[in-house]
A and B are shown apart, each in its own frame.
Chain A
Amino acid sequence: MRFLARRLGFYLLTAWAAVTLNFLIPRLMPGDPVELLVARMKGNVDPAAIDAMRRAFGISDANLWQQYLDYLGNLAQGELGRSITFFPAEVSTVIAGSLPWTVGLVGVATLISYLMGTSLGVLMAWKRGTWLDGVLPAATFMHAVPYFWVALALVFVFGVTLQWFPVSRAYGLDVMPGFTGEFAGSVVYHAALPAVTIVVASMADRILGMRNVMVTTLGEDYVVMAEAKGLTSRRVMWAYAARNAILPNITSFALSLGFVVGGSVLTEIVFSYPGIGSMLLKGVENEDFPLMQGIFLVISLAVLVANFLADLAYVVLDPRTRQESE
């Protein structure tokens, strides 16, 4: 498993980089965040809040190196400081409350988008020269559409004009959260439009990427050979061509995750979905630097974990990565 070990090493390094970046940003950016906040509130700040904030940043009279060690120590205990917006709540508590919504929404939507986009890409490469080519210009256009604009259009058509779907919140005001069918139904109903937004906006990349690799693969000799042997089209398409074409596709999918997450942040905000994206905006608007930074860190780590999962899929699909270990 040398491949996985190497990847894991890289992710640990990247996680450390994200953590360090998080430490450096407030120190490198112009201005002292604490003083910025105090000035903005015209001095009407609870001294406890200022104190908490200084502690959250690890800003003290100690030298930079000592501050960094203190920061790492706090982080190791899951200590992200206290939120200014929701003072005196811990940042970690605020994040824990909103993270499940985002993971559920973005996770499911990304999976649907990946499966649909990749299958469509395979099909379009296979049926090249037919009416399916008509999808190409549409996909090129969708590839450049901002997520939040898709969200606005869906809200306008299906939310406001047709009134088919709710346009904000994660579940209805009239249902009690709990393990009931009613609550689950309400959650799915409310997640419909945001999920469709993410699927629609992110699918084009998968279609175009998969089609291009697949078209190149279809020219390979082993595909021609498989066809010459008289294997069924379905078998040649999926078991011979698509199986090989999917490898670069997984890599590009993993790299696009950061982009999808960024788009999801904007989507959540349009729908006032109570996920981590809406929280991030709240943090920025309220100059809630500890919250902002905690969220950035959590998003970065989540993307790293997702990347590692993509690597695992790669190992399952590509026997060569497994042979290296022998």
Chain B
Amino acid sequence: MKIKIGIGILVFFTLMAVLGPLLIGADPAATGDDGLQGPSAAHWLGTTQTGQDILTQIVYGARVSMGVGLLSAVIANVIAVAVGLVGGYFGGAVDEVLSVLTNIFLVLPALPLIIVLAGYLPQRGVASVAVVIAVTGWAWGARVLRAQTLSVRRRDFVQAARASGEGALRIVFFEILPVLLPVIATSFLATVVAAILAEAGLSFLGLADLSTVSWGSMLYFAQNGQALLIGAWWWFIPPGLCIALIGTGLALVNFGIDEIANPRLRTVKVKART
């Protein structure tokens, strides 16, 4: 049930990001002379101070927010897989070094580091922001994958592969990696949530590319356009809601997977205690 709701939410937002701009067609940056209008038939979610249509911005913003989230989750998980699997499989000094590195990145506060790195970027394009977020977001996945690799490497099929003379890297990436795909999938989903939140935070601070419309940059302009003081709730509620909903969708899928693995967590059919 949880997984179904979660997937439903994700499908909705994916369709919105992929097909939405084609259906709407309008330019999200186009200004009009009917600024700060509440929701109406002409503008379903109202307009910004400069008369931009908020629904159009939300739909286009989905592309950037989800795009940055996915891109940096892909980069972060490539690092996580490499560090986690190599450390877990080889053990010894390699593992020691990689584990310490992972734990260090796990403890260091990510957002302040992202802010500092973004402060040094000469141009803050979508891709460079995604890379900066990924650099700070791989550690959790690496830690989980290392632990899983430790248990998998003792299994018979790995021993057999080693006995048949397969190279170590081939064993790691062609024998062990496929077995860990479910773990990688959950870690990937969690990274996407974190990356979308980080991008939103960075854009909200005005430290990402403000010329592209994203949910975070919408909130930046809402805050700087005094949306709160004017009472323009329709300006800042939708982007935040979208971020939270997409995060909820991803989390529901992840929790659903957890419940399959650990049936005790399920909420249904349990007799209440007194």
Contacts and interface: CB of A to CB of B under 8 A. Distances in A.
Interface of A: 10, 13-14, 17-18, 21, 25-26, 29-31, 33, 36, 126-130, 133, 136, 140-149, 152-153, 155-156, 159-161, 167, 212, 215-216, 218-219, 233, 255, 257-259, 261-263, 265-266, 269-270, 280-281, 283-285, 287, 289, 292-293, 295-296, 299-300, 303-304, 307
A152 B219 contact: yes
B104 A36 contact: no
B251 A140 contact: yes
A203 to B, nearest CB: 15
Contact of A145 (B117, B201, B247): B247
A143 B231 contact: no
Interface in B212-238: 219, 222-223, 228-229, 231, 233, 236-237
Given A146-B201, A266-B111, 19 more contacts: A18-B104, A18-B108, A140-B252, A141-B245, A142-B244, A144-B244, A144-B246, A146-B197, A146-B243, A149-B239, A152-B240, A155-B228, A161-B231, A212-B262, A259-B110, A263-B111, A280-B116, A283-B119, A284-B118
Tell me if B's interface is mostly helix, strand, loop or mixed: helix
B255 interface: yes
B30 to A, nearest CB: 25
Given A128-B270, A299-B112, A266 B250 contact: no
A129 B251 contact: no
Nearest to B119: A284
B120 A215 contact: no
Nearest to A145: B244
Contact of A25 (B111, B116, B219, B237): B116
Contacts of A149: 219, 236, 239-240, 243-244
Interface centre among B205, B243, B246, B255 (most CB of A within 10 A): B205
Contacts, number: 182
B270 to A, nearest CB: 4
Contacts of B231: 156, 160-161
A149 B222 CA distance: 11
Interface string B78-116: 000000000000000000000010011011111111011
B109 A266 contact: no
Interface centre among B104, B239, B240, B274 (most CB of A within 10 A): B104
Contacts of A14: 103-104, 107-108
B55 interface: no
Contact of A261 (B112, B219, B228, B243): B112
B228 A160 contact: yes
28 contacts: A25-B120, A26-B120, A30-B120, A30-B122, A127-B272, A129-B267, A140-B251, A144-B193, A144-B247, A146-B197, A146-B200, A149-B240, A156-B233, A215-B264, A216-B264, A219-B264, A261-B111, A262-B111, A263-B111, A266-B111, A266-B205, A283-B119, A284-B116, A284-B119, A296-B113, A300-B108, A304-B107, A307-B107
B248 interface: yes
B167 to A, nearest CB: 32
Contacts of A259: 109-111
Given A233-B273, A284-B207, A293-B116, A156 B228 contact: yes
B15 interface: no
B227 to A, nearest CB: 8
Contacts of A21: 108, 113
B168 interface: no
B267 A146 contact: no
